Amino acid sequence: MKVMSIEELHQKLVNHEIDVKEYYQELFEEVDFQQKRLNAFVTVTKDEALKNIENLDVKENEILKGIPGVFKDNYNTKGIKTTASSKMLEDYVPVYNATVVDKLYEAGISLIGKSSMDELAMGGTNKSALTGPVFNPWDSSRIAGGSSGGSAALVGSGVVPFALGSDTGDSIRKPAGFCGVVGFKPTWGRISRFGVIPYASSLDHVGAFTRNVRDMAIVTEALAGRDDRDMTSSNLPVPHYLENLTSDIKGMKIAVLTTVSDEIRNKDIKENFEHVIATLKELGAEVGEVTIPQYLARAILPTYTIIANSEATSNHSCLDGIKYGDRQPGSSTDEVMINSRTDGFGAHIKRRFILGNLALATENQERMFRKAQRVRRLIVEELNKIYSEYDIILTPNSGSVAPKLDEANDDRLSDEYIILENHLALGNFAGTPSISIPSGFSDKMPIAVNLMGRVFEEQTVLNAAYALEQALGFANQYSREG
């Protein structure tokens, strides 16, 4: 199967240069091969996709019509299982679509399947999925990252040109970096979250994976816009991201957040990051160095942990086997709920709910949950100080390549881990647009950088990423054989 970008496939469909049925037949052969290699699908929707392309006729302005895509399995899809990779929702079949699902269907995309994720999107390894871990397309002994690991792996393997993910702390951008693709979460409120199974409402973002920035501009524009069913969605008009995309960033002011980059220990990643800075300067950007207080940088992870798990505890209280979720027998309502939640959730989810309940308990709220909210506000204020002088904040995406499956864990306390591996949550604290793009390789594995901008300035972020992508030459990467 020839791997193509959205734009390339669109032009071939418009010009009738490919037989669409043959293309999709080859695509599903590739789906079978990659599923055996990556374990990235929860559900494959072959019949629905083939039905969608019957009598397909694509016009020049129908850029997503006939394009294959994948949805993370926390997006409600009417009549198609939506499990969030949890035993509790193993048999859940929604009766409605998420708003962005409807938008993409209306644009004419063909759903290939639903992708694996960390259970209920709570995790960074994709090892907790009900269907088992997802493997990295560049090296199947390594993780794809999480929680949107299935989507990242499938785009990174070349199966599809785009996939939906969700991002609460770094769940699009970290796996994008690990899998060598572009991962973007726009401003909180730019895209409706109606019909997306939540994790933490004040931090959750809808976003996507593509293999180049131009395709990301296309997908983001299709997803964005006001939705009256999501009261947090913005009324601001949606720009024409692709039409306004430019690689001319002369005079753009870019801040290197050295509080993060100084923690890099990997020699290849350090040299690559320095090369990225030099490249931006050659492109005419004005690059400076900035910091945030070390004590606030160290507070990112604990602040995120308390807020996210408190909100998750509240959001998922309905998964009790009575209102929603797999029901286990019991002699009373309480016993049914206890048995259902005990059986339905993995151990890591239970730990998160225990922490969330502890932080929300009346006697603890002030010194845990409310304190975390105040620290979050202090961190955002530091970011806003930077944005008063700079257009973009630049950081490494991670301090390492994708870890080996048996080495991946979240239980480290060094500043290299506490700060460097958790700083992408800054974009969730502030709700700002944040994109990760491939920037090089280390040990034959992809590495990446992250660019974050002011709220609702997606165009600036996309332009900076596009300019850098063109200069570095890592657009349209994929690995099919590992």
Are 45 and 118 a contacting pair, CB within 8 Å? Answer: no
pLDDT digits (tens, 9 = 90+) for 225-280: 999 999 999 999 999 999 999 999 999 999 999 999 999 999 999 999 999 999 99
Half-sphere exposure at residue 192, Cβ-oriented, CA atoms within 13 angstroms? 22
pLDDT, residue 412, reads: 57
Q: Which CATH number fits domain 6-252: 1.10.760.10, 3.90.1300.10, 3.40.50.300, 2.60.120.10?
A: 3.90.1300.10
Which token pair is 270? 């350090």
Domain coordinates in residue numbering, the chain: 6-252
pLDDT, residue 417, reads: 86
479 part of the active site: no
pLDDT, residue 413, reads: 57
Are 422 and 304 a contacting pair, CB within 8 Å? Answer: yes
157 part of the active site: no
Catalytic residue among 86, 115, 128, 147: 147
Are 482 and 37 a contacting pair, CB within 8 Å? Answer: yes
pLDDT, residue 396, reads: 98
46 part of the active site: no
pLDDT, residue 416, reads: 78
Enter the pTM of the model: 0.97
DSSP codes of every residue in 154-188: HHHTTS-SEEEEEESSSTTHHHHHHHTSEEEE--T
Catalytic residue among 171, 261, 400, 439: 171
Q: Which residue numbers in the chain have pLDDT < 50? A: none
> What separation, in Å, do the N-terminal and C-terminal C-alpha atoms of the chain show?
16
pLDDT, residue 123, reads: 95
Catalytic residue among 72, 103, 127, 185: 72
pLDDT, residue 410, reads: 55
Cis peptide before 442 (omega within 30 of 0): no
**In a 10 Å sphere around its CB, with 0-12 CB exposed, 13-18 middle and 19+ buried, how is residue 26 labelled?**
middle
DSSP codes of every residue in 20-57: HHHHHHHHHHHHHHHHHHH--EEEE-HHHHHHHTTT--
Half-sphere exposure at residue 24, Cβ-oriented, CA atoms within 13 angstroms? 22
pLDDT, residue 407, reads: 86
pLDDT, residue 39, reads: 98
What is the rounded distance in angstroms from the CA atom of residue 210 to the CA atom of residue 164? 9
